[in-house]
Amino acid sequence: MKQISNQLKLLFFGTFISIMGCTAQEERPNILFVLCDDLGYNDVGFNGSTDIITPELDKLANEGITFTSAYVAHPFCGPSRASILTGRYPQEMGTAFNLHSNSSMNDADNMGIPLNETYMSKVLQDAGYYTSAFGKWHLGSAPKYQPNKRGFDNYYGFLGGGHNYFPEKYQKEYQKQLKAGKKEIRDYILPLDHNGKEVKETEYITDALTREAMNDIQLASTKKDPFFIYLAYNAPHVPLEAKAEDLKVFANIKDKDRRTYAAMVYAVDRGVGKIVKKLKETNQYDNTLIVFLSDNGGNFDHGANNYPLKGSKGDAWEGGYRVPMFMHYPKKLGKGLKFDFPVSSLDLYPTFVNLAKGKIPKDKILDGKDIMEAVKNNTEPHKEDMIYCLRYRHGYSDVGARLGDWKITRMGNEPWRLTNITKDIGEKKNLGGRYPERLKKMVAETQKWTEGFVQPLWYYSAKDEELWKDGRMPQYNETFEVDMLTDLPTKK
């Protein structure tokens, strides 16, 4: 009897440990982070688009939480992506310019996100996650800067700032240039990369990235640990190239660029639908946090629509860096909700790591915060924190900064503007003359933020480098000078 009793105790203890292990596993969700490139605020159905249909994305957004005031840290691709993966503003790391593909401007061995900046992927990898990156990188092409060296177990994509979409076209051009002995070949037509090896792709790029993500989800289902997938579609970034079957869906759109752009967004939507189906087939759907975001605002010159926001990609107006976003995780977050408080892409790093029960390095500086509890409780996560944007121009800087309901903006050499952004999302009225003290205080706080900036590690053009070395950039004193504060009366 005593032997049977001990056996029962062991059986009970083993079952208890197994149950506890499953519970712990369930507490650590899979994380699927879908990032689009240059997607406009109004170019998805869940944000009000009437001409571009996105049924798969809309379904996830409507079953999850839509963020109406989501911001990225910079209005251009490279700096924004660097901020997402490092959790820091790009100006604090010297990464405020896009990496240039032109070799005359690109010392590849020394141009990439600083190695002392630990990516979120590395922290998640160290926490036991199986980590993958698919698509656009744009964070350094030398081996030491590539995804497999920055915390990703698996990578499939392209290292530059963009890529052509149809393999039968770009591969032909690539071979032509190789045979001609051309030394500089644009990265948009280079072969795709799989863990450091060239591959010959056969599918439309958006579909290829979807395929690879689905394959990885299947693989992850055989592993005991959760997964983190960084799916960085290059759509709808130029060149505007869409499949005929997707173009037919938008035959009613007369403008050619808009029609092609819409079809490219639709290809992403189709892909996300397939990925969701794969998650369900592998019984991983319920325990997967899906986050959808754009890296910056849409480009007016290439078919995008940021309505009702003012401005375009590259601007410190809302349209430059306020982006469509949702989180889908009904098991923990609820469904069918809107979160109107401002959040930043910088918040994703600490939020993901804490969900994964990872350990952030002691010396790691983060500019965002874990927003999960605030999202659950519908409370303001940045009540005391300003959310910033600054873009270097030739001889001045464009600046935007938001605190609660209020936003300050300076574009070009125009005076500073103050807007109640919750009442005036289109930034039409300048309230600086009515509330000069509020304006001055926010400008002063923003100038203080720049004290932590460092000189860029690279420049997008020779002109930028020349101006910086001559002291004509960044000209913070001129940007924040008091006499540029508007004292014009505000129209009622």
Whichever domain contains 463, its CATH number is 3.30.1120.10
Sign of the C-alpha dihedral, residues 245, 250, 254, 257? negative
Residues 6 or more apart whose CB falls under 8 angstroms from that of 360 comprise 123, 350, 353, 366
Where is the domain boundary, 342, 359, 377? 377
Looking at the structure, tell me whether residues 124 and 255 fall in a common domain.
yes
Residue 11 forms part of a structural domain? no
- Residue 109's pLDDT is what? 83
Looking at the structure, tell me whether residues 295 and 257 fall in a common domain.
yes
Looking at the structure, tell me whether residues 70 and 184 fall in a common domain.
yes
Render pLDDT for 79-135 as a digit per residue (tens, 0 to 9): 999 999 999 999 999 999 999 876 556 677 889 999 999 999 999 999 999 999 999
Q: Can you list the residues of the chain whose pLDDT is less than 50?
A: 1-25, 487-492
Catalytic annotation on 77? Answer: yes
Looking at the structure, tell me whether residues 120 and 214 fall in a common domain.
yes
In the set 36, 74, 100, 138, the catalytic residue is: 138
Where is the domain boundary, 377, 405, 429? 377
Looking at the structure, tell me whether residues 126 and 250 fall in a common domain.
yes
Q: State phi, psi for 491 to the nearest 5 degrees.
A: -70, 135
Residue 14 forms part of a structural domain? no
In the set 77, 163, 302, 328, the catalytic residue is: 77
- Residue 37's pLDDT is what? 98
Residue 146 forms part of a structural domain? yes
Residue 160 forms part of a structural domain? yes
C-alpha torsion angle, residues 185, 149, 235, 297 (rounded to 10): -110
- Residue 478's pLDDT is what? 85
CATH number at residue 343: 3.40.720.10
Structural tokens at position 466: 């020349």
Within 10 angstroms of residue 114's Cβ, the number of other Cβ atoms is 15
- Residue 110's pLDDT is what? 83
Looking at the structure, tell me whether residues 367 and 405 fall in a common domain.
no
Where is the domain boundary, 377, 407, 422? 377
Residues 6 or more apart whose CB falls under 8 angstroms from that of 133 comprise 121, 147, 152, 154, 155, 156, 157, 229, 230, 232
Residue 13 forms part of a structural domain? no
Looking at the structure, tell me whether residues 205 and 172 fall in a common domain.
yes
Looking at the structure, tell me whether residues 354 and 467 fall in a common domain.
no
Q: Which domain holds residue 414?
A: 387-484
Looking at the structure, tell me whether residues 267 and 408 fall in a common domain.
no
Residue 407 forms part of a structural domain? yes
Residue 5 forms part of a structural domain? no
- Residue 399's pLDDT is what? 97
The number of folded domains in the chain is 2
Looking at the structure, tell me whether residues 341 and 405 fall in a common domain.
no
- Residue 8's pLDDT is what? 40
Interatomic CA distance for residues 455 and 471, integer angstroms = 11
- Residue 491's pLDDT is what? 43
Looking at the structure, tell me whether residues 361 and 435 fall in a common domain.
no
Looking at the structure, tell me whether residues 80 and 170 fall in a common domain.
yes
Residue 217 forms part of a structural domain? yes
